[in-house]
Amino acid sequence: MPMNTKAITLNTGAHMPEIGLGTWRADEEGLLAKTVKTAIALGYRHIDCARFYGNQREIGKALKEASVPREELFIVSKIWQNKHRPDLVPGALDEILDELQLEYLDLLLIHFPYALKPEKATKDFTAEDLEHVPIMDTWRAMEALVETGKVRAIGVSNFNKTIIKKMIPQCRIVPAVNQIEIHPYNPSSELVRFCQENGIAVTGFCPLGGTKVSVMDDDTIKKIAQAHGCTPAQVALAWVLSRGIAVIPKSTNELRLKQNLEKVALTSDELDLISSITTRERKVDPRLDLKELEWVVHDDIAECPLI
């Protein structure tokens, strides 16, 4: 593992590098493969993928050409919502491994807690496309995958506290990770605390905010960045990392890739100042999509899907 990348120890004993490369919407032909190879050369060892992103074949090509041994890499992927039926889960993993040209994944996640009918392979869907597959049915199929050796750890993504709390007593294997949206405008403090207290590591996606989430323009973030002679992105990442949360920022710019990997040391006062920001915005918000999905990531109004 590169010297400039610390790791979070999972409940499996595996070590997940705390800074990874996000690949969502990095789909310009040729650019992503170049980015992955550049990131690995800079010291990235944690690569976050998903079948839904539609770019795993290009990532797989880059991984095949990488100059580091497979065992030094920590590769994550996710099964999409139309593969929740237990009989579809093994095939979903095989499709991912084929695209990435890998024999195993370090971590496989359930992308979202709600299921779609098998024919719905896109993000565009209506309430009629939802399928009532109990989460624990999908999870037990995930647990069986660990025994095959094709995946080293399993976890969830976009799961709220209510769902995970109901899952844990029924799990033979407790989720190793919950990947959720985390940044200064969406701290999710209660959910993070609950996961960590129950041995579930947290990975934060969109740690820099993003489209319609203006974290990088926040005055507090910019002032702290100016004081340290660094970028607002480095400040936001340092705040998330200080909470014991892994981050997977996305960039195709070599300079930004390098900067994102360089952890800035913030003072406790600066960390508290960022924590005191009251603006609340989020990129992934089911309340902007379907009324029926309010329970997915909002604990205050959570109505669980079938567990």
Residues that are catalytic? 53
Cα 200 to chain centroid distance, Å, stands at: 13
Which residues lie below 8 Å from residue 57, measured CB to CB, with a gap of 6+? 99
| Nearest to 30, CA basis, from 64, 57, 69 | 57
State which H helix or E strand residue 110 sits in: strand 107-110
CA gap 171, 143 in Å, rounded: 9
The three-class DSSP label of residue 7 is: strand
State which H helix or E strand residue 167 sits in: helix 161-167
The three-class DSSP label of residue 173 is: coil
> What Å distances lie between residue 108 and 41, 93, 173, 191, 284, CA to CA?
24, 8, 13, 20, 20
CA gap 155, 78 in Å, rounded: 9
76 dihedral zone (left: phi>0; alpha: psi -120 to 50; beta)? beta
CB crowding 200-229: b at 16 or more within 10 Å, else e:
bbbbbbbbbbbeebebbebebbeebbeeee
